[in-house]
Amino acid sequence: MPFTIDLEGRLALVTGAGQGVGRAIALALASAGGAVAVNDFVPDRAESVAEEIRAAGGEAVPAPFDVSDFDAVMSAVERVGNVDILVNNAGNAGPEGFNFGPFAQTRPSDWARYFGVNLFGVMHCTRAALPGMIDRQDGRVVTIISDAARWGEPYMGAYAAAKAGAAGFSRSVAREVGRHGITANCVALGSIDPSEGPAEAEATPEEADRLHKQLRGYIIRRRGRPEDVSGLVTFLVSPLASWITGQTYPVNGGYTVNQ
Protein backbone atom coordinates (compact mmCIF):
# COMPACT_ATOMS: atom_id res chain seq x y z
CA MET A 1 0.00 0.00 0.00
CA PRO A 2 1.59 3.32 -1.03
CA PHE A 3 2.06 6.07 1.51
CA THR A 4 0.29 9.22 0.34
CA ILE A 5 -0.48 12.70 1.59
CA ASP A 6 -3.84 14.02 0.47
CA LEU A 7 -4.49 17.78 0.49
CA GLU A 8 -7.48 17.72 -1.82
CA GLY A 9 -10.03 20.41 -1.02
CA ARG A 10 -7.52 22.60 0.82
CA LEU A 11 -6.21 25.98 -0.27
CA ALA A 12 -2.58 26.81 0.46
CA LEU A 13 -1.02 30.26 0.31
CA VAL A 14 2.74 30.00 -0.19
CA THR A 15 4.63 33.28 0.08
CA GLY A 16 7.79 33.89 -1.90
CA ALA A 17 6.81 30.99 -4.16
CA GLY A 18 8.03 32.44 -7.44
CA GLN A 19 11.38 30.68 -7.22
CA GLY A 20 13.65 28.46 -5.16
CA VAL A 21 12.33 26.82 -2.00
CA GLY A 22 8.93 28.51 -2.27
CA ARG A 23 8.42 27.21 -5.78
CA ALA A 24 9.32 23.67 -4.68
CA ILE A 25 6.85 23.89 -1.79
CA ALA A 26 4.08 25.17 -4.06
CA LEU A 27 4.69 22.35 -6.55
CA ALA A 28 4.73 19.74 -3.78
CA LEU A 29 1.48 20.94 -2.21
CA ALA A 30 -0.18 20.97 -5.62
CA SER A 31 1.07 17.46 -6.35
CA ALA A 32 -0.59 16.34 -3.11
CA GLY A 33 -3.89 17.68 -4.39
CA GLY A 34 -3.99 21.11 -2.78
CA ALA A 35 -5.00 24.29 -4.56
CA VAL A 36 -2.18 26.84 -4.32
CA ALA A 37 -2.16 30.64 -4.23
CA VAL A 38 1.34 31.44 -5.47
CA ASN A 39 2.71 34.62 -3.94
CA ASP A 40 5.70 36.64 -5.05
CA PHE A 41 6.40 40.37 -5.07
CA VAL A 42 7.28 39.96 -8.78
CA PRO A 43 3.96 39.26 -10.57
CA ASP A 44 5.57 37.45 -13.52
CA ARG A 45 7.23 34.96 -11.20
CA ALA A 46 3.97 34.24 -9.38
CA GLU A 47 2.15 33.73 -12.68
CA SER A 48 4.92 31.50 -14.05
CA VAL A 49 4.77 29.07 -11.13
CA ALA A 50 0.97 29.10 -11.10
CA GLU A 51 1.00 28.22 -14.80
CA GLU A 52 3.55 25.47 -14.16
CA ILE A 53 1.18 23.92 -11.63
CA ARG A 54 -1.82 24.24 -13.94
CA ALA A 55 0.12 22.71 -16.83
CA ALA A 56 0.79 19.67 -14.64
CA GLY A 57 -2.93 19.29 -13.93
CA GLY A 58 -3.01 21.11 -10.60
CA GLU A 59 -5.00 24.09 -9.38
CA ALA A 60 -3.22 27.38 -8.79
CA VAL A 61 -3.67 31.14 -8.98
CA PRO A 62 -1.03 33.88 -8.84
CA ALA A 63 -1.20 36.11 -5.77
CA PRO A 64 1.40 38.85 -6.19
CA PHE A 65 1.87 41.16 -3.22
CA ASP A 66 4.56 42.43 -0.85
CA VAL A 67 4.32 40.62 2.49
CA SER A 68 5.73 43.66 4.28
CA ASP A 69 2.62 45.68 3.25
CA PHE A 70 -0.13 44.76 5.72
CA ASP A 71 -2.99 46.29 3.71
CA ALA A 72 -1.85 44.48 0.56
CA VAL A 73 -1.67 41.19 2.47
CA MET A 74 -5.16 41.59 3.90
CA SER A 75 -6.61 42.44 0.49
CA ALA A 76 -4.86 39.51 -1.19
CA VAL A 77 -6.06 36.96 1.36
CA GLU A 78 -9.59 38.27 0.98
CA ARG A 79 -9.32 37.81 -2.79
CA VAL A 80 -7.91 34.27 -2.79
CA GLY A 81 -10.49 32.96 -0.34
CA ASN A 82 -10.36 30.70 2.68
CA VAL A 83 -6.71 29.85 3.33
CA ASP A 84 -6.44 26.44 4.99
CA ILE A 85 -2.65 26.26 4.79
CA LEU A 86 -0.23 29.17 5.13
CA VAL A 87 3.44 28.70 4.34
CA ASN A 88 5.43 31.79 5.32
CA ASN A 89 8.38 31.27 3.01
CA ALA A 90 9.10 34.82 1.80
CA GLY A 91 12.31 35.94 3.41
CA ASN A 92 15.86 37.10 2.89
CA ALA A 93 15.82 40.88 2.44
CA GLY A 94 12.97 41.38 -0.01
CA PRO A 95 13.48 43.30 -3.23
CA GLU A 96 16.38 45.32 -1.80
CA GLY A 97 18.64 42.28 -1.38
CA PHE A 98 21.15 41.37 1.31
CA ASN A 99 23.70 43.82 2.59
CA PHE A 100 25.52 42.01 5.39
CA GLY A 101 28.34 43.55 7.35
CA PRO A 102 29.67 44.07 10.88
CA PHE A 103 26.75 44.93 13.14
CA ALA A 104 28.78 47.67 14.82
CA GLN A 105 28.82 49.52 11.51
CA THR A 106 25.07 49.34 10.84
CA ARG A 107 22.19 51.65 11.60
CA PRO A 108 18.47 51.01 12.20
CA SER A 109 17.76 51.97 8.61
CA ASP A 110 19.88 48.96 7.55
CA TRP A 111 17.84 46.58 9.70
CA ALA A 112 14.38 47.50 8.42
CA ARG A 113 14.49 45.36 5.26
CA TYR A 114 15.14 42.19 7.28
CA PHE A 115 12.40 42.80 9.83
CA GLY A 116 9.91 43.95 7.20
CA VAL A 117 10.00 40.63 5.36
CA ASN A 118 11.21 38.00 7.82
CA LEU A 119 9.25 39.06 10.91
CA PHE A 120 6.52 41.55 10.04
CA GLY A 121 5.77 39.74 6.78
CA VAL A 122 5.18 36.53 8.74
CA MET A 123 2.99 38.40 11.24
CA HIS A 124 1.00 40.11 8.48
CA CYS A 125 0.22 36.91 6.60
CA THR A 126 -0.57 34.93 9.74
CA ARG A 127 -2.87 37.70 10.97
CA ALA A 128 -4.70 37.67 7.64
CA ALA A 129 -5.15 33.89 7.51
CA LEU A 130 -5.97 33.07 11.15
CA PRO A 131 -9.53 34.43 11.46
CA GLY A 132 -10.79 32.12 8.72
CA MET A 133 -8.93 29.16 10.19
CA ILE A 134 -10.44 29.88 13.60
CA ASP A 135 -13.92 30.08 12.08
CA ARG A 136 -13.40 26.68 10.42
CA GLN A 137 -11.63 25.22 13.49
CA ASP A 138 -8.82 23.92 11.32
CA GLY A 139 -5.60 25.20 9.77
CA ARG A 140 -1.88 24.83 9.28
CA VAL A 141 0.84 27.49 9.48
CA VAL A 142 4.45 26.69 8.61
CA THR A 143 7.12 29.38 8.73
CA ILE A 144 10.49 29.00 7.07
CA ILE A 145 13.26 30.41 9.26
CA SER A 146 17.04 30.09 9.19
CA ASP A 147 19.71 28.37 11.21
CA ALA A 148 21.09 31.87 11.66
CA ALA A 149 18.23 32.30 14.14
CA ARG A 150 19.09 29.12 16.06
CA TRP A 151 22.86 28.99 15.84
CA GLY A 152 23.97 32.54 15.09
CA GLU A 153 26.12 33.67 12.20
CA PRO A 154 28.55 36.59 12.09
CA TYR A 155 27.55 39.65 10.05
CA MET A 156 23.92 38.53 9.99
CA GLY A 157 22.64 40.09 13.22
CA ALA A 158 19.51 41.81 11.93
CA TYR A 159 18.54 38.87 9.73
CA ALA A 160 19.10 36.39 12.58
CA ALA A 161 17.09 38.57 14.97
CA ALA A 162 14.17 38.80 12.55
CA LYS A 163 14.13 35.05 11.92
CA ALA A 164 14.39 34.32 15.64
CA GLY A 165 11.50 36.69 16.19
CA ALA A 166 9.43 34.77 13.63
CA ALA A 167 10.19 31.52 15.50
CA GLY A 168 9.13 32.99 18.83
CA PHE A 169 6.02 34.45 17.25
CA SER A 170 5.13 31.03 15.81
CA ARG A 171 5.46 29.35 19.20
CA SER A 172 3.19 31.94 20.75
CA VAL A 173 0.61 31.51 17.98
CA ALA A 174 0.76 27.73 18.39
CA ARG A 175 -0.19 28.04 22.06
CA GLU A 176 -2.92 30.55 21.28
CA VAL A 177 -4.77 28.76 18.48
CA GLY A 178 -4.18 25.07 19.19
CA ARG A 179 -7.62 24.79 20.76
CA HIS A 180 -9.06 25.72 17.36
CA GLY A 181 -7.42 22.78 15.60
CA ILE A 182 -4.66 24.98 14.12
CA THR A 183 -0.99 24.05 14.23
CA ALA A 184 2.00 26.36 13.79
CA ASN A 185 5.52 25.08 13.19
CA CYS A 186 8.83 26.30 11.79
CA VAL A 187 11.39 24.78 9.45
CA ALA A 188 14.93 26.13 9.90
CA LEU A 189 17.17 26.00 6.86
CA GLY A 190 20.89 25.77 6.44
CA SER A 191 22.59 26.97 3.27
CA ILE A 192 20.36 26.35 0.25
CA ASP A 193 21.60 26.31 -3.34
CA PRO A 194 19.54 29.10 -4.93
CA SER A 195 19.94 27.83 -8.47
CA GLU A 196 17.63 25.54 -10.41
CA GLY A 197 20.51 23.66 -12.04
CA PRO A 198 23.78 21.89 -11.09
CA ALA A 199 25.48 25.07 -9.93
CA GLU A 200 27.99 23.32 -7.68
CA ALA A 201 29.32 21.22 -10.57
CA GLU A 202 29.69 24.33 -12.74
CA ALA A 203 31.37 26.55 -10.14
CA THR A 204 34.67 28.27 -10.84
CA PRO A 205 37.70 27.04 -8.83
CA GLU A 206 37.39 30.10 -6.55
CA GLU A 207 33.68 29.50 -5.98
CA ALA A 208 34.30 25.80 -5.39
CA ASP A 209 36.95 26.62 -2.77
CA ARG A 210 34.62 29.00 -0.93
CA LEU A 211 31.87 26.38 -1.01
CA HIS A 212 34.24 23.70 0.28
CA LYS A 213 35.17 25.90 3.25
CA GLN A 214 31.53 26.73 3.90
CA LEU A 215 30.49 23.08 3.93
CA ARG A 216 33.13 21.91 6.40
CA GLY A 217 30.58 22.34 9.15
CA TYR A 218 27.96 20.19 7.43
CA ILE A 219 27.70 16.44 8.06
CA ILE A 220 26.26 16.00 4.57
CA ARG A 221 28.74 17.94 2.47
CA ARG A 222 26.47 19.77 0.07
CA ARG A 223 24.14 22.70 0.15
CA GLY A 224 20.45 22.00 0.54
CA ARG A 225 18.11 21.77 -2.40
CA PRO A 226 14.55 23.10 -2.55
CA GLU A 227 13.15 19.56 -2.66
CA ASP A 228 14.93 18.80 0.63
CA VAL A 229 12.52 21.26 2.23
CA SER A 230 9.26 20.72 0.38
CA GLY A 231 8.64 17.16 1.60
CA LEU A 232 8.78 18.10 5.28
CA VAL A 233 6.56 21.12 4.75
CA THR A 234 4.01 18.98 2.89
CA PHE A 235 3.93 16.57 5.81
CA LEU A 236 3.57 19.33 8.41
CA VAL A 237 0.58 20.88 6.65
CA SER A 238 -1.15 17.53 6.17
CA PRO A 239 -3.69 15.77 8.42
CA LEU A 240 -0.88 13.41 9.42
CA ALA A 241 0.74 16.18 11.49
CA SER A 242 -2.33 17.22 13.47
CA TRP A 243 -0.59 16.55 16.82
CA ILE A 244 2.61 18.45 15.99
CA THR A 245 2.75 22.13 16.87
CA GLY A 246 5.05 24.77 18.31
CA GLN A 247 8.13 23.01 16.95
CA THR A 248 11.14 24.01 14.85
CA TYR A 249 12.59 21.38 12.52
CA PRO A 250 16.12 21.92 11.15
CA VAL A 251 16.72 20.96 7.52
CA ASN A 252 20.42 21.67 7.34
CA GLY A 253 22.55 18.67 6.39
CA GLY A 254 23.60 18.24 10.01
CA TYR A 255 25.02 21.75 10.38
CA THR A 256 23.66 21.73 13.92
CA VAL A 257 23.14 18.61 16.00
CA ASN A 258 20.91 18.61 19.09
CA GLN A 259 20.59 22.39 19.08
C-alpha torsion sign, points 20, 25, 27, 28: positive
> 109 near 168, Cβ under 8 Å?
no
Separation CA 211–CA 223 (nearest Å): 9
Question: Per the residue annotation, which of 159, 218, 249, 255 is the catalytic one?
Answer: 159
Q: Which amino acid is at 138?
A: D
Separation CA 131–CA 173 (nearest Å): 12
Q: Is 235 exposed, middle or buried (0-12, 13-18, 19+ CB in 10 A)?
A: middle
Q: Which of 233, 227, 230, 258 has its CA nearest to residue 183?
A: 233
Q: How many CA atoms are closer than 13 Å to the CA of 129, on its beta-carbon side?
A: 30
> 59 near 113, Cβ under 8 Å?
no
CA distances from 198 to 202, 222, 225, 252 (A): 7, 12, 10, 19
The H or E element spanning position 252 is none
Separation CA 32–CA 58 (nearest Å): 9
Read off the DSSP letter of residue 146: E
155 catalytic? Reply is no
Separation CA 47–CA 64 (nearest Å): 8
By annotation, the residues acting in catalysis are 159
